[in-house]
Amino acid sequence: MDSSTIINIQKKLLIWYRSNARSLPWRGLKDPYLIWISEVMLQQTQVETVIPYFHRWIDRFPDIKSVAYAPIDEILKAWEGLGYYSRARNIKKTAEIILSNHVGVIPSRPIDLIKLPGIGDYIAGAIASIGFGLDEPALDANGIRVISRLYDFHGLVNKVANKKILKENLRTLLPNGCAGDFNQAIMDLGSMVCLSANPDCESCPIQRECMAFSRNTQKDLPVGKARTKKPHFNVVAGIFEKNGKVLIGKRPTNGLLGGMWEFPGGKIEEGEDHNTALKRELEEELGVNIKLRDAFGEYKHAYTHFSVTVFTYFVEIVEGKPSAKVAEKIEWVDIRSLNDFPMGKVDRSISNDLQEKLDHASSVDSV
């Protein structure tokens, strides 16, 4: 791409951005801490979902110190519903590192940022360019789509080497001193005009410079890899209910829903019925013999790589005292206070339904 074409792209995109930029709560903020938080929340998550979480977060955690000193359960509670909970755990880790190793100041250069937990190539570029005004590229999924089309690039974008090529292409496009706005212009263009399924090329400010448009290949780009079909699992979970309290466990720190609370249970193995599976799981997890009582609800949920149906039952201890054999810890909790414990979607649904059942029972009693 020659230098006059590059200058045209810079001018047209920045002008377009001035009048079409989305108005977002973190736009225009000068505090790199807030830029960092917004970028982490936006990872694999749509803008509309993030906005209310962002407001609540900066209200509760206005600065790095408040994050570093907060209990992990409070951090996870603020993150509940956003998913990818390692993001929240990594924010806390990084806040602690910044306090102890960087005198409380976020580093500005990508080379330093990328060493921090939860900050990868994209977020490092975003903080450097948007938060600190450095001339650094920030290439996200929108950018990958826009740049792939702009250069009519047909390499597989899952490949690290190909992503690097796209990033260097973006770097050559950056106007001096305006990298932050330019990066955001690319992202906004990708989210509003250069759409994945139906690109609106007629309203694109850089249609004339787009090599994919001139060859009519925009709908084939970017080239990605097809995902494999995801399996389904049937799961059982037990509700130990006693005197208005229930037993919940805190999942191990790492892995799926790490650090979140749940009702104990697990996968139904091949050939098992619900009764056998639940007795086995609760023996393994808590060291107790149980008896199944009434069935409660059935819960379906789709994760990224598999889906589940969770069958829940009220259970009763026949023998033994529950201990945390798998969970980080277990706790008997008042049903009314279940909301204080961070949970994933399924367990939150169970928890809400339990509270509703309790409300209904007490309203019947009072009649």
Partner DNA sequence: TAGTCGTGGCT
Partner DNA sequence: TAGCCAAGACT
Nearest to 130 by CA among 79, 184, 172, 210: 184
Distance CA 321, CA 287 (A): 7
210 touches DNA by CB under 7 A:
no
159 touches DNA by CB under 7 A:
yes
Q: Which is nearer to DNA, 118 or 205 (CB)?
A: 118
Residue type, 172: T
62 touches DNA by CB under 7 A:
no
**Residue 259 near residue 251, CB atoms below 8 Å:** yes
DSSP, res 227: P
The catalytically annotated residue of 39, 80, 262, 285 is: 39
Distance CA 32, CA 118 (A): 15
Nearest to 243 by CA among 173, 352, 332: 332
Q: Which is nearer to DNA, 295 or 302 (CB)?
A: 302
136 touches DNA by CB under 7 A:
no
Beta bridge pairs of residue 31: none
341 touches DNA by CB under 7 A:
no
One of 9, 68, 75, 119 touching DNA (CB under 7 A) = 119
The span of 5-13, 211-219, 250-258, 287-295 binding DNA (CB under 7 A) equals 250-258
47 touches DNA by CB under 7 A:
yes
28 touches DNA by CB under 7 A:
no
Distance CA 248, CA 329 (A): 9
The span of 98-106, 234-242, 256-264, 355-363 binding DNA (CB under 7 A) equals 256-264
Nearest to 283 by CA among 311, 247, 312, 320: 320
The span of 101-109, 115-123, 329-337, 357-365 binding DNA (CB under 7 A) equals 115-123
281 catalytically annotated? no
Distance of CA 212 to the CA centre of its chain: 31
**Residue 113 near residue 119, CB atoms below 8 Å:** yes
Interior angle at CA 279, CA 275 and CA 282, nearest 5: 140
49 touches DNA by CB under 7 A:
yes
One of 124, 277, 282, 330 touching DNA (CB under 7 A) = 124
Nearest to 190 by CA among 142, 149, 120: 142
Q: Is the dihedral of CA 128, 133, 137, 142 positive or negative?
A: positive
One of 173, 212, 247, 257 touching DNA (CB under 7 A) = 257
For the bound state, the minimum distance from the C-beta of residue 167 to DNA, rounded and expressed in Å, comes to 11
Read off the tokens for 215. Answer: 């060859």
One of 255, 270, 271, 362 touching DNA (CB under 7 A) = 255
How many alpha carbons lie under 13 Å from residue 74 in its C-beta half-sphere?
A: 11
20 touches DNA by CB under 7 A:
no
Q: Is the dihedral of CA 133, 136, 142, 143 positive or negative?
A: positive
Q: Which is nearer to DNA, 208 or 305 (CB)?
A: 305
For the bound state, the minimum distance from the C-beta of residue 314 to DNA, rounded and expressed in Å, comes to 23
DSSP, res 86: H
One of 29, 108, 112, 117 touching DNA (CB under 7 A) = 117
Residues between 181 and 200 with contacts to DNA, criterion CB under 7 A: 184, 187-188, 190-191, 196-197
The span of 51-59, 332-340, 343-351, 354-362 binding DNA (CB under 7 A) equals 343-351
Tell me the per-residue interface mask from 216 to 235 with DNA, x by CB under 7 A, - otherwise. Answer: --------x-xxxxx-----
Read off the tokens for 349. Answer: 């649904």
Catalytic positions: 39
Name the site residues for DNA (rule: CB under 7 A). 22, 24, 26-27, 38-39, 42-49, 81-86, 90, 114, 116-124, 126, 140-142, 145, 158-161, 184, 187-188, 190-191, 196-197, 224, 226-230, 255-258, 301-305, 344-346
